[in-house]
Amino acid sequence: MYDRWCRDPQRGAQMAAEHRGAAPVVRLKVPYEEDLQITFFDVVHGEVTMGAATLDDLVLLKSDGYPTYHLANVVDDHLMEISHVIRGDEWMPSTPRHVLIYQGLGWGDQMPTFVHLPLILGTDRAKLSKRHGASNTLQYRHEGYLPETMVNFLTLLGWSLDDKTELLTRAELVQNFSLERIGKTAAVFNKDKLDWMNGVYIRGLSPEDLADRLTPWLERPAPEGGLPDAVLRPIDRGYLGAIVPLIQERLKLLSEAPGLVDFFFLDDLVVDDKARKALEATEAIPALDAVLARLEGAPNWLHTTLEELLRPLAEELGLKTGTFFGMLRAAVTGRMVSPPLFETMQVLGRARCRERILRALHKDG
C-alpha cells in the first residue's frame, strides 16, 4: 500500500521541491481512521461493510494526466446514468473505493445499485480459464451449440428459478428473471451438462427447422467441417429433410452432422476399417448375395417392407441378427454405426443400395 507520505502538507511541499518539474499524480484521500467503516448495499450479498483502514490512497489521475480505471469508471457510469453496476465478485474489493469517489464528487446520493455475481469455476473448482476449455460465445456457436442452449445454460450459472427447473425458453427467462434470485455460491461450468442441454434443444426442434440450421454446416468446405468437397452444393433440401429425422436423436452438436450423414451424399462410398473387416468375413458374400436376391422381389422400398423381407433372412442363413445386419449396414453405409438401417436404406433408395451391395461383393452394378 502507498505509505501516505504526501498526505502531510509539509512533506508534500518537500517532495515537490525535491522533484521540481516532475508531474505529480492525483490520489484519492481515503479516510483511514481505524474504526471507520464504509458500507454499501449489494443485491446479491446484502449490506457489505469494509474498514477504511484496509484501503490505500489509490491513484485517480496518472502523471500523464490520464485517469485510472477507477475514476473513469465512476464518471462514465454517472454521466451515462447507469442504474445498475453488474459485475463479478472479484470486483467487490473495489466497490468501497468507488463509493468514496462517488461521495467525493458529490454524487453520493446518486450511486447505482451494485450487483456482484458469483464466479464461474471449472469442474476442478478453480476459476474458469482457457485450460478448462473456456471460450467466447462465438466460439461455442462455431462448435455447433444453439443460441437457445447458450442463453439457457449461461443464465443458470448463478441463477435459478427453483430447485428443479433446468430448461427455460427465452420468454420464460424474461418473464421470471430477477436479480434477487442470483445465488452467492460460485457456479461450475459443466461441459457435459452443456452438451446434454444442447442435445435436448436439438431434439426439440422441428425436422424442418433443424434441416435449415444444418444446411450451412453441411455446405461449408470440407476443411471447415462440412461435407466432403465431392458432394455437390447446394444440398438438396428435400433429400436432407428425409435424412434429418434419422439423426436428430443422436445429435448433440450441429457440427456433428456432416460426419453422420456424409455417406448419404457420396457416390464413392468410403468404407471404414471396422466395416471392411465385417465385409471380409466368410459369411459376408453369401449373405449379401442372398440380400440381393431377396430384394429383387421387393414391391416397394419402404423401410417396413425392407425389414419384413430381410429380418427372417438372418435365421435362414444361420446368422445372428446383429451380425447379419452389421454386414448389410457396412455394405450400404460404409460403417458399423449409422442411423436406423432400414430407414437409411429407404432414404438411400433402391438403385443406390443395390449398387453399394454389388460393390461390396466386388461386382459391377
125 within a domain of the structure (yes/no):
no
- Binning pLDDT at 50, 70 and 90, where does residue 133 land? low
How does pLDDT run across 216-257, given as a tens digit for each residue?
A: 999 999 999 999 999 999 999 999 999 999 999 999 999 999
What's the confidence (pLDDT) of residue 134?
A: 61
What's the confidence (pLDDT) of residue 9?
A: 76
Domain boundary among 176, 200, 224: 200
Looking at the structure, tell me whether residues 30 and 112 fall in a common domain. Answer: yes
Looking at the structure, tell me whether residues 27 and 69 fall in a common domain. Answer: yes
Domain boundary among 117, 140, 163: 117
Direct distance between the N- and C-terminal alpha carbons of the chain, in angstroms, rounded to an integer = 84
How does pLDDT run across 34-54, given as a tens digit for each residue?
A: 788 999 999 999 999 998 888
Looking at the structure, tell me whether residues 34 and 112 fall in a common domain. Answer: yes
Looking at the structure, tell me whether residues 307 and 333 fall in a common domain. Answer: yes
Asked if pLDDT for residue 331 goes beyond 70, the answer is yes
CATH number, domain of 180, equals 1.10.1160.10
Asked if pLDDT for residue 214 goes beyond 80, the answer is yes
CB 15 within 8 A of CB 27: no
One of 62, 130, 274, 363 is an active-site residue; which one? 130
How does pLDDT run across 4-36, given as a tens digit for each residue?
A: 777 777 777 777 777 777 788 899 998 877 788
Looking at the structure, tell me whether residues 258 and 195 fall in a common domain. Answer: no
Looking at the structure, tell me whether residues 196 and 210 fall in a common domain. Answer: no
What's the confidence (pLDDT) of residue 132?
A: 65
Domain extent, residue 38, equals: 22-117
Looking at the structure, tell me whether residues 108 and 43 fall in a common domain. Answer: yes
Looking at the structure, tell me whether residues 196 and 209 fall in a common domain. Answer: no
96 grid coordinates: 468501497
Looking at the structure, tell me whether residues 71 and 101 fall in a common domain. Answer: yes
Tell me if residue 127 is catalytic. no
CATH number, domain of 251, equals 1.10.8
Domain boundary among 178, 200, 222: 200
Least confident window among 102-116, 135-149, 316-330, 343-357: 135-149
Looking at the structure, tell me whether residues 33 and 84 fall in a common domain. Answer: yes
What mean pLDDT, rounded, does the chain reach? 92
Give the whole-angstrom CA distance, residue 251 versus residue 231.
21
83 within a domain of the structure (yes/no):
yes
What's the confidence (pLDDT) of residue 365?
A: 47
CB 143 within 8 A of CB 149: no
Looking at the structure, tell me whether residues 168 and 216 fall in a common domain. Answer: no
What's the confidence (pLDDT) of residue 14?
A: 75
Give the whole-angstrom CA distance, residue 253 versus residue 232.
23
How does pLDDT run across 87-96, given as a tens digit for each residue?
A: 999 999 999 9
Q: What percent of the chain has pLDDT over 70?
A: 98
CB 37 within 8 A of CB 50: yes
Rounded alpha-carbon distances, angstroms, from residue 162 to 39, 96, 158, 165, 170: 31, 32, 12, 6, 16
194 within a domain of the structure (yes/no):
yes
96 within a domain of the structure (yes/no):
yes
Strand (E) or helix (H) holding 60: strand 59-61
| Cα maximum dimension of the chain | 108
Work out the average pLDDT over 196-212. Answer: 97
What's the confidence (pLDDT) of residue 35?
A: 80
Asked if pLDDT for residue 333 goes beyond 60, the answer is yes
Q: Report how many domains make up the chain.
A: 4
Q: What percent of the chain has pLDDT over 90?
A: 81
Place of cell 444440398: 235
Q: Which conformational region is residue 119 in: left (phi greater than 0), alpha (psi within -120 to 50 degrees), or beta?
A: beta
What's the confidence (pLDDT) of residue 127?
A: 80
CATH number, domain of 72, equals 3.40.50.620
Asked if pLDDT for residue 126 goes beyond 90, the answer is no
Looking at the structure, tell me whether residues 173 and 143 fall in a common domain. Answer: yes
